[in-house]
Amino acid sequence: MNRIVTALEALGMLVCLALLSQALHTLGAGAGWVGLGWCALALPLGYYGADLLSGLIHWVCDSFGDSHTPLWGPLLVAPFRRHHRAPGDITQIGLAENLGSSALAGALVLWLWSPQPVPASDGLALLARYAALWCIGFAVLSNRLHRWAHLPLARRPLWMRRLQAWRIVLNPQDHALHHRKPHRCNYCILSGWANPLCNRVPWQRLERGLAHLGIRTNVD
């Protein structure tokens, strides 16, 4: 069974990469060389958006459902809950298990969206679409950068330590704050750039409001 799941996760990664490449080619074909400029401008927007998205998903998985919740319970909730109990285990898993669930979700979004060509004259539309594609791509990769933050120092090459120290990717010391009970801050796992915003969200008040609608929390 585990081999089947791993094979599906690996397939999801390939499909996601293919769909993302196709979407980038489609936008590029419509915008020509002008599109490259908008693509570059969109990169930091997509990177920040992916970090914010990772934080929102992390909060949902930490706060609602359990491993028995249909579909997303075993795919997302269970891994996040296990991670709180054994943070170092993430460094022992393979690439497919690390990124497979995110890649399957990204592939589904890209398949449903299927972006169409945009003329070079419509700069804002190009910026928005490229930012969305960057966001999807980086969101798929977020758990890899999360894994880097848990690697022992001896296993982190110099370039990785530099990126973490400069906070271009998730800084291990910043992320360690999330692993202190009650696990209610620093949800973002790509770069941590969106943590200042996410940490200002009144999560517990929001959860109480959802509880009035019958949506109960299940926080570790």
183-201: per-residue pLDDT in tens? 889 999 999 999 999 999 9
Sequence-separated (6 or more) residues with CB below 8 Å from residue 186: 174, 175, 177, 178, 192, 195, 198, 199
Nearest to 103 by CA among 213, 196, 1, 17: 17
pLDDT of residue 156: 96
54 close to 190: Cβ distance less than 8 angstroms: yes
Asked if the model's pLDDT at residue 1 lies above 60, the reply is: no
In this prediction the pTM is: 0.93
43 close to 128: Cβ distance less than 8 angstroms: no
DSSP 77: I
* pLDDT band with cut points at 50, 70 and 90 for residue 220: low
DSSP helix/strand/coil, 175: helix
CA pair distance 23, 113, nearest whole angstrom: 9
pLDDT, one tens digit per residue, over 141-174 is 999 999 999 999 999 999 999 999 999 999 999 9
DSSP helix/strand/coil, 101: helix
Sequence-separated (6 or more) residues with CB below 8 Å from residue 137: 20, 46, 50, 106
169 close to 143: Cβ distance less than 8 angstroms: no
